[in-house]
Amino acid sequence: MASATNESGPTNADTVGLDVVHAEATARLQEAGQRYTSGRRRLVEVLAAAARPVRLPDIEALAPDLARSSAYRNLEALERCGVVERLNAGGDHAYFELAESLIGHHHHLICEDCSEIADIELDSALEHRLAGTLAAIADVAGYVPSHHSVDLYGRCSRCVAAG
Amino acid sequence: MASATNESGPTNADTVGLDVVHAEATARLQEAGQRYTSGRRRLVEVLAAAARPVRLPDIEALAPDLARSSAYRNLEALERCGVVERLNAGGDHAYFELAESLIGHHHHLICEDCSEIADIELDSALEHRLAGTLAAIADVAGYVPSHHSVDLYGRCSRCVAAG
DNA sequence: CTCAGTGCAAAGGATTTGCATGCCG
DNA sequence: CGGCATGCAAATCCTTTGCACTGAG
Protein backbone atom coordinates (compact mmCIF):
# COMPACT_ATOMS: atom_id res chain seq x y z
CA MET A 1 0.00 0.00 0.00
CA ALA A 2 0.87 3.65 -0.22
CA SER A 3 2.45 3.85 3.20
CA ALA A 4 4.89 1.04 2.59
CA THR A 5 7.79 3.44 2.80
CA ASN A 6 6.17 5.30 5.63
CA GLU A 7 5.58 2.68 8.27
CA SER A 8 5.89 5.04 11.19
CA GLY A 9 4.51 8.02 9.35
CA PRO A 10 1.89 10.43 10.61
CA THR A 11 -1.75 9.82 9.91
CA ASN A 12 -3.07 13.32 9.78
CA ALA A 13 -1.93 16.77 8.87
CA ASP A 14 -1.30 17.94 12.41
CA THR A 15 0.69 15.01 13.62
CA VAL A 16 4.13 16.33 12.77
CA GLY A 17 5.57 19.52 14.20
CA LEU A 18 7.20 22.20 12.11
CA ASP A 19 10.57 21.43 13.65
CA VAL A 20 10.39 17.87 12.43
CA VAL A 21 9.46 19.08 8.97
CA HIS A 22 12.44 21.41 8.94
CA ALA A 23 14.71 18.62 10.08
CA GLU A 24 13.43 16.33 7.37
CA ALA A 25 13.80 19.02 4.73
CA THR A 26 17.37 19.72 5.80
CA ALA A 27 18.26 16.05 5.68
CA ARG A 28 16.62 15.29 2.36
CA LEU A 29 18.08 18.34 0.66
CA GLN A 30 21.54 17.71 2.01
CA GLU A 31 21.36 14.17 0.74
CA ALA A 32 20.90 15.67 -2.72
CA GLY A 33 23.75 18.11 -2.28
CA GLN A 34 21.44 21.06 -1.80
CA ARG A 35 21.04 23.70 0.88
CA TYR A 36 18.07 24.48 3.05
CA THR A 37 18.19 28.22 2.42
CA SER A 38 15.99 30.84 4.00
CA GLY A 39 13.84 31.02 0.90
CA ARG A 40 13.19 27.31 0.98
CA ARG A 41 12.55 27.37 4.69
CA ARG A 42 10.09 30.18 4.16
CA LEU A 43 8.32 28.17 1.49
CA VAL A 44 7.99 25.19 3.80
CA GLU A 45 6.63 27.40 6.55
CA VAL A 46 3.99 28.84 4.25
CA LEU A 47 2.91 25.39 3.14
CA ALA A 48 2.80 24.12 6.71
CA ALA A 49 0.80 27.10 7.90
CA ALA A 50 -1.71 26.84 5.08
CA ALA A 51 -2.57 23.26 6.05
CA ARG A 52 -4.08 22.84 2.60
CA PRO A 53 -2.78 22.91 -0.94
CA VAL A 54 -1.86 26.39 -2.15
CA ARG A 55 -1.19 27.95 -5.54
CA LEU A 56 1.68 30.21 -6.42
CA PRO A 57 -0.40 33.40 -6.11
CA ASP A 58 -1.31 32.31 -2.58
CA ILE A 59 2.34 31.82 -1.76
CA GLU A 60 3.23 35.21 -3.16
CA ALA A 61 0.50 36.83 -1.10
CA LEU A 62 1.79 35.20 2.07
CA ALA A 63 5.46 35.78 1.31
CA PRO A 64 5.77 38.73 -1.07
CA ASP A 65 9.53 38.82 -0.76
CA LEU A 66 9.99 35.50 -2.53
CA ALA A 67 10.82 35.94 -6.20
CA ARG A 68 8.44 34.05 -8.42
CA SER A 69 11.05 32.16 -10.39
CA SER A 70 12.88 31.19 -7.23
CA ALA A 71 9.65 29.99 -5.69
CA TYR A 72 8.99 27.73 -8.67
CA ARG A 73 12.57 26.53 -8.70
CA ASN A 74 12.58 25.83 -4.98
CA LEU A 75 9.24 24.08 -5.05
CA GLU A 76 10.66 21.86 -7.75
CA ALA A 77 13.79 21.18 -5.70
CA LEU A 78 11.68 20.36 -2.65
CA GLU A 79 9.47 18.16 -4.78
CA ARG A 80 12.45 16.22 -6.08
CA CYS A 81 13.60 15.68 -2.50
CA GLY A 82 10.19 14.41 -1.41
CA VAL A 83 9.36 17.35 0.83
CA VAL A 84 6.67 18.89 -1.37
CA GLU A 85 4.03 17.46 -3.68
CA ARG A 86 2.45 19.09 -6.70
CA LEU A 87 -1.27 18.66 -7.41
CA ASN A 88 -3.20 19.15 -10.60
CA ALA A 89 -6.69 20.09 -9.64
CA GLY A 90 -7.48 21.50 -13.02
CA GLY A 91 -7.35 25.25 -12.62
CA ASP A 92 -4.86 27.62 -14.16
CA HIS A 93 -2.37 27.09 -11.38
CA ALA A 94 -0.74 24.03 -9.92
CA TYR A 95 -1.22 23.39 -6.19
CA PHE A 96 1.56 22.60 -3.76
CA GLU A 97 1.53 21.03 -0.33
CA LEU A 98 3.87 19.21 2.04
CA ALA A 99 4.49 15.61 1.05
CA GLU A 100 2.35 12.83 2.45
CA SER A 101 5.42 11.35 4.10
CA LEU A 102 5.37 14.46 6.28
CA ILE A 103 1.69 15.21 6.78
CA GLY A 104 0.18 11.77 6.24
CA HIS A 105 -1.80 10.08 3.51
CA HIS A 106 -4.98 11.92 2.62
CA HIS A 107 -7.20 12.95 -0.27
CA HIS A 108 -8.82 16.13 -1.52
CA LEU A 109 -12.16 17.88 -1.57
CA ILE A 110 -12.26 20.41 -4.38
CA CYS A 111 -14.74 23.21 -5.01
CA GLU A 112 -15.51 23.40 -8.72
CA ASP A 113 -16.45 27.06 -8.43
CA CYS A 114 -13.76 28.71 -6.36
CA SER A 115 -11.12 25.98 -6.72
CA GLU A 116 -10.35 25.85 -3.01
CA ILE A 117 -9.02 22.52 -1.89
CA ALA A 118 -9.38 20.87 1.51
CA ASP A 119 -7.68 17.75 2.77
CA ILE A 120 -9.89 14.80 3.65
CA GLU A 121 -9.27 11.31 5.01
CA LEU A 122 -11.05 8.05 4.34
CA ASP A 123 -11.64 5.68 7.20
CA SER A 124 -8.78 3.24 7.40
CA ALA A 125 -10.85 0.18 6.52
CA LEU A 126 -11.99 1.72 3.27
CA GLU A 127 -8.54 3.09 2.55
CA HIS A 128 -7.04 -0.32 3.10
CA ARG A 129 -9.52 -2.02 0.86
CA LEU A 130 -9.02 0.57 -1.84
CA ALA A 131 -5.26 0.16 -1.65
CA GLY A 132 -5.60 -3.59 -1.99
CA THR A 133 -7.90 -3.34 -4.99
CA LEU A 134 -5.66 -0.82 -6.69
CA ALA A 135 -2.60 -2.97 -6.10
CA ALA A 136 -4.37 -5.88 -7.79
CA ILE A 137 -5.39 -3.69 -10.73
CA ALA A 138 -1.84 -2.44 -11.18
CA ASP A 139 -0.57 -5.99 -11.07
CA VAL A 140 -2.94 -7.17 -13.76
CA ALA A 141 -2.04 -4.20 -15.94
CA GLY A 142 1.67 -4.84 -15.50
CA TYR A 143 2.21 -1.57 -13.69
CA VAL A 144 4.53 -0.89 -10.78
CA PRO A 145 2.24 1.18 -8.58
CA SER A 146 3.55 4.24 -6.76
CA HIS A 147 0.59 6.01 -5.21
CA HIS A 148 -3.07 6.88 -5.70
CA SER A 149 -5.33 9.85 -5.30
CA VAL A 150 -9.02 10.26 -4.55
CA ASP A 151 -10.55 13.61 -5.42
CA LEU A 152 -14.05 14.62 -4.45
CA TYR A 153 -15.45 17.47 -6.51
CA GLY A 154 -18.39 19.62 -5.56
CA ARG A 155 -19.41 23.13 -4.60
CA CYS A 156 -18.50 24.52 -1.21
CA SER A 157 -21.18 26.05 1.00
CA ARG A 158 -19.99 29.56 0.27
CA CYS A 159 -20.26 29.09 -3.49
CA VAL A 160 -23.62 27.36 -3.15
CA ALA A 161 -24.87 30.28 -1.09
CA ALA A 162 -23.52 32.73 -3.65
CA GLY A 163 -25.71 31.05 -6.23
CA MET B 1 -23.98 9.63 -5.52
CA ALA B 2 -22.15 9.98 -8.77
CA SER B 3 -24.40 7.70 -10.76
CA ALA B 4 -27.61 9.37 -9.69
CA THR B 5 -28.16 10.84 -13.14
CA ASN B 6 -26.96 7.69 -14.82
CA GLU B 7 -29.18 4.97 -13.46
CA SER B 8 -29.41 3.06 -16.69
CA GLY B 9 -26.01 4.10 -17.93
CA PRO B 10 -23.35 1.80 -19.32
CA THR B 11 -20.89 0.20 -17.00
CA ASN B 12 -17.88 -0.07 -19.21
CA ALA B 13 -16.30 1.65 -22.15
CA ASP B 14 -17.51 -0.82 -24.75
CA THR B 15 -21.11 -0.99 -23.71
CA VAL B 16 -22.38 1.77 -25.94
CA GLY B 17 -22.09 1.68 -29.70
CA LEU B 18 -20.75 4.52 -31.77
CA ASP B 19 -24.16 5.12 -33.27
CA VAL B 20 -25.65 5.71 -29.87
CA VAL B 21 -22.85 8.12 -29.04
CA HIS B 22 -23.49 10.05 -32.23
CA ALA B 23 -27.20 10.15 -31.49
CA GLU B 24 -26.54 11.46 -28.00
CA ALA B 25 -24.11 14.04 -29.29
CA THR B 26 -26.58 15.25 -31.89
CA ALA B 27 -29.32 15.55 -29.30
CA ARG B 28 -27.27 17.28 -26.63
CA LEU B 29 -25.76 19.75 -29.07
CA GLN B 30 -29.08 20.53 -30.67
CA GLU B 31 -30.52 21.19 -27.25
CA ALA B 32 -27.88 23.89 -26.90
CA GLY B 33 -28.57 25.32 -30.33
CA GLN B 34 -25.44 23.86 -31.83
CA ARG B 35 -24.72 21.66 -34.82
CA TYR B 36 -23.07 18.28 -34.94
CA THR B 37 -20.69 19.15 -37.74
CA SER B 38 -18.27 16.84 -39.47
CA GLY B 39 -15.39 18.18 -37.42
CA ARG B 40 -17.20 17.44 -34.18
CA ARG B 41 -18.26 14.05 -35.40
CA ARG B 42 -14.67 13.32 -36.33
CA LEU B 43 -13.52 14.34 -32.88
CA VAL B 44 -16.04 12.03 -31.24
CA GLU B 45 -14.94 9.18 -33.49
CA VAL B 46 -11.32 9.69 -32.54
CA LEU B 47 -12.16 9.71 -28.85
CA ALA B 48 -14.32 6.62 -29.17
CA ALA B 49 -11.69 4.75 -31.15
CA ALA B 50 -8.93 5.62 -28.69
CA ALA B 51 -10.90 4.06 -25.81
CA ARG B 52 -8.67 5.98 -23.45
CA PRO B 53 -8.02 9.63 -22.68
CA VAL B 54 -6.07 11.41 -25.41
CA ARG B 55 -4.19 14.69 -25.64
CA LEU B 56 -4.45 17.23 -28.40
CA PRO B 57 -1.27 16.05 -30.14
CA ASP B 58 -2.77 12.55 -30.26
CA ILE B 59 -5.91 13.92 -31.83
CA GLU B 60 -3.92 15.85 -34.41
CA ALA B 61 -1.95 12.74 -35.28
CA LEU B 62 -5.12 10.75 -35.80
CA ALA B 63 -6.99 13.50 -37.62
CA PRO B 64 -4.45 15.87 -39.17
CA ASP B 65 -7.11 17.76 -41.07
CA LEU B 66 -8.66 19.20 -37.92
CA ALA B 67 -7.42 22.70 -37.20
CA ARG B 68 -5.99 22.99 -33.72
CA SER B 69 -8.08 25.95 -32.62
CA SER B 70 -11.23 24.31 -33.93
CA ALA B 71 -10.36 21.12 -32.10
CA TYR B 72 -10.02 23.02 -28.83
CA ARG B 73 -13.19 24.96 -29.47
CA ASN B 74 -15.16 21.86 -30.36
CA LEU B 75 -13.86 19.89 -27.42
CA GLU B 76 -15.03 22.73 -25.22
CA ALA B 77 -18.44 22.77 -26.90
CA LEU B 78 -18.75 19.01 -26.48
CA GLU B 79 -17.66 19.33 -22.88
CA ARG B 80 -20.33 21.92 -22.16
CA CYS B 81 -22.94 19.59 -23.65
CA GLY B 82 -21.78 16.67 -21.53
CA VAL B 83 -20.40 14.59 -24.39
CA VAL B 84 -16.72 14.99 -23.54
CA GLU B 85 -14.80 15.28 -20.30
CA ARG B 86 -11.48 16.97 -19.71
CA LEU B 87 -8.90 15.41 -17.37
CA ASN B 88 -6.04 16.98 -15.55
CA ALA B 89 -3.43 14.32 -15.20
CA GLY B 90 -0.64 16.75 -14.70
CA GLY B 91 1.37 16.76 -17.90
CA ASP B 92 1.77 19.59 -20.36
CA HIS B 93 -1.43 18.71 -22.15
CA ALA B 94 -4.99 18.21 -20.99
CA TYR B 95 -6.61 14.85 -21.71
CA PHE B 96 -10.01 14.36 -23.27
CA GLU B 97 -12.35 11.39 -23.36
CA LEU B 98 -16.04 10.65 -23.89
CA ALA B 99 -18.17 11.53 -20.89
CA GLU B 100 -18.94 8.94 -18.23
CA SER B 101 -22.63 9.20 -19.09
CA LEU B 102 -21.66 7.65 -22.42
CA ILE B 103 -18.90 5.22 -21.57
CA GLY B 104 -19.67 4.53 -17.92
CA HIS B 105 -18.16 5.48 -14.60
CA HIS B 106 -14.51 4.55 -14.32
CA HIS B 107 -11.14 5.68 -13.03
CA HIS B 108 -7.62 6.04 -14.37
CA LEU B 109 -4.29 4.29 -14.31
CA ILE B 110 -1.53 6.73 -15.16
CA CYS B 111 2.09 6.03 -16.07
CA GLU B 112 4.32 8.58 -14.39
CA ASP B 113 6.99 8.14 -17.04
CA CYS B 114 5.24 8.21 -20.39
CA SER B 115 1.98 9.79 -19.18
CA GLU B 116 -0.22 7.24 -20.90
CA ILE B 117 -3.57 6.81 -19.25
CA ALA B 118 -5.74 3.70 -19.18
CA ASP B 119 -9.29 3.37 -17.90
CA ILE B 120 -9.89 1.11 -14.91
CA GLU B 121 -12.94 0.05 -12.94
CA LEU B 122 -13.38 -0.73 -9.28
CA ASP B 123 -15.62 -3.60 -8.30
CA SER B 124 -19.10 -2.28 -7.66
CA ALA B 125 -19.12 -3.08 -3.95
CA LEU B 126 -16.02 -0.98 -3.37
CA GLU B 127 -17.24 1.76 -5.66
CA HIS B 128 -20.51 1.88 -3.81
CA ARG B 129 -18.85 2.05 -0.45
CA LEU B 130 -16.49 4.75 -1.65
CA ALA B 131 -19.38 6.79 -3.01
CA GLY B 132 -21.21 6.50 0.29
CA THR B 133 -18.20 7.57 2.30
CA LEU B 134 -17.51 10.50 0.02
CA ALA B 135 -21.13 11.61 0.19
CA ALA B 136 -20.87 11.65 3.96
CA ILE B 137 -17.64 13.61 3.86
CA ALA B 138 -19.13 16.19 1.50
CA ASP B 139 -22.15 16.50 3.76
CA VAL B 140 -20.05 17.18 6.85
CA ALA B 141 -17.99 19.73 4.95
CA GLY B 142 -21.10 21.49 3.68
CA TYR B 143 -20.32 20.65 0.08
CA VAL B 144 -22.76 19.73 -2.65
CA PRO B 145 -20.91 16.82 -4.25
CA SER B 146 -20.81 16.42 -8.01
CA HIS B 147 -18.41 13.60 -8.80
CA HIS B 148 -15.20 11.93 -7.73
CA SER B 149 -12.07 10.55 -9.29
CA VAL B 150 -9.63 7.83 -8.32
CA ASP B 151 -6.25 7.92 -10.01
CA LEU B 152 -3.68 5.18 -9.70
CA TYR B 153 -0.13 6.27 -10.54
CA GLY B 154 2.73 3.98 -11.39
CA ARG B 155 5.07 2.95 -14.16
CA CYS B 156 3.81 0.90 -17.07
CA SER B 157 5.58 -2.30 -18.04
CA ARG B 158 7.14 -0.69 -21.10
CA CYS B 159 8.68 2.13 -19.05
CA VAL B 160 9.83 -0.27 -16.35
CA ALA B 161 11.50 -2.38 -19.01
CA ALA B 162 13.10 0.70 -20.51
CA GLY B 163 14.70 1.33 -17.13
C1' DC C 1 -30.14 35.81 -45.34
C1' DT C 2 -28.72 34.51 -40.84
C1' DC C 3 -25.96 32.61 -37.69
C1' DA C 4 -23.01 28.95 -36.16
C1' DG C 5 -18.57 26.86 -37.43
C1' DT C 6 -13.83 27.13 -39.30
C1' DG C 7 -9.00 28.39 -39.91
C1' DC C 8 -5.26 31.46 -39.56
C1' DA C 9 -2.69 34.44 -37.00
C1' DA C 10 -1.96 36.72 -32.79
C1' DA C 11 -2.67 37.14 -27.85
C1' DG C 12 -2.74 35.35 -23.13
C1' DG C 13 -0.75 33.39 -19.26
C1' DA C 14 1.44 29.85 -16.18
C1' DT C 15 5.86 27.98 -15.85
C1' DT C 16 10.70 27.51 -17.18
C1' DT C 17 15.25 29.02 -18.43
C1' DG C 18 19.61 32.07 -19.40
C1' DC C 19 22.68 34.71 -17.27
C1' DA C 20 25.11 37.60 -14.13
C1' DT C 21 25.53 38.21 -9.24
C1' DG C 22 25.38 36.92 -4.28
C1' DC C 23 26.49 33.94 -0.70
C1' DC C 24 27.24 29.62 2.17
C1' DG C 25 30.58 26.15 3.19
C1' DC D 1 37.70 29.86 -3.97
C1' DG D 2 33.75 26.65 -5.88
C1' DG D 3 29.30 25.66 -6.54
C1' DC D 4 24.65 26.26 -5.27
C1' DA D 5 21.01 29.84 -4.93
C1' DT D 6 18.77 34.11 -6.42
C1' DG D 7 16.34 37.53 -9.29
C1' DC D 8 15.43 39.76 -13.34
C1' DA D 9 14.19 39.42 -17.92
C1' DA D 10 13.26 36.76 -21.79
C1' DA D 11 11.68 32.52 -23.75
C1' DT D 12 8.42 28.49 -24.00
C1' DC D 13 4.44 26.48 -25.13
C1' DC D 14 -0.42 25.03 -24.23
C1' DT D 15 -4.60 27.14 -24.84
C1' DT D 16 -7.72 30.85 -25.97
C1' DT D 17 -9.32 34.64 -28.77
C1' DG D 18 -10.12 38.11 -32.81
C1' DC D 19 -11.55 38.33 -37.21
C1' DA D 20 -12.92 37.47 -41.77
C1' DC D 21 -14.82 33.73 -44.47
C1' DT D 22 -17.62 29.62 -45.44
C1' DG D 23 -21.60 26.76 -45.20
C1' DA D 24 -26.02 24.73 -43.66
C1' DG D 25 -30.89 25.62 -43.01
Q: What is the CA radius of gyration of chain B?
A: 17
pLDDT exceeds 90 at position B30: yes
B29 strand C contact, CB < 7 Å: yes
How many A/B residue pairs have CB atoms within 8 Å?
A: 105
The SS3 assignment for B38 reads helix
Average pLDDT of the residues of chain A? 91
Q: Angle, nearest 10°, between helix axes B38-50 and B18-31?
A: 140
Measure B139 CA to D11 C1' (Å): 46
Which one is predicted more confidently, A9 or A88?
Answer: A88
* Residue B97 CB partners (closer than 8 Å, separation 6+): B47, B50, B52, B53, B54, B84, B85, B87, B103, B119
The predicted structure's pLDDT at residue B163: 77
Smallest CA–CA separation between B56 and chain A, in Å?
16
C-alpha torsion A97→A112→A94→B109, nearest 10: 90
Residue numbers in A near B137 (CB within 8 A): 109, 120, 152
CA distance A49 to chain B (A): 20
- Residue B8 pLDDT greater than 50, yes or no: no
Interface contact A153, partner B, CB < 8 A? yes
pLDDT band at B10 (very low <50, low <70, confident <90, very high): low
Facing A138 at nearest CB: one of B126, B133, B154? B154
pLDDT digits (tens, 9 = 90+) for A115-163: 999 999 999 999 999 999 999 999 999 999 999 999 999 999 999 998 7
In chain A, DSSP finds a helix count (H) and a strand count (E) of: 7, 6
Beta bridge partners of A45: none
Alpha helices in chain B (DSSP H): 18-31, 38-50, 56-62, 68-80, 100-103, 124-141, 157-161
Question: Which helix (H) or strand (E) segment is A158 a member of?
Answer: helix A157-161
Distance from CA of B156 to the nearest CA of A (A): 4
Q: Residue B1: what pLDDT?
A: 38
Is B141 part of the contact surface with chain A (CB cutoff 8 Å)?
A: yes
Q: Which residues of B touch A137 (CB under 8 A)?
A: 109, 120, 152
Report the nearest residue to nucleotide D15, CA vs C1': B72
Q: What is the pLDDT of residues A52-84, one digit of tens each?
A: 999 999 999 999 999 999 999 999 999 999 999
The mean pLDDT of A27-38, rounded to a whole number, is 96
Measured between CB atoms, does B8 come within 8 Å of chain A? no
Tell me if B143 and A109 make a contact (CB, 8 A cut-off): yes
Alpha helices (runs of H) in B35-116, residue ranges in sequence order: 38-50, 56-62, 68-80, 100-103
Q: Residue A10's pLDDT is what?
A: 53
pLDDT at B136: 98
Specify the pLDDT at position A16. Answer: 77
The answer to whether the CB of A111 falls within 8 A of the CB of A135 is: no
pLDDT tens digits along B75-104: 999 999 999 999 988 889 999 999 999 999
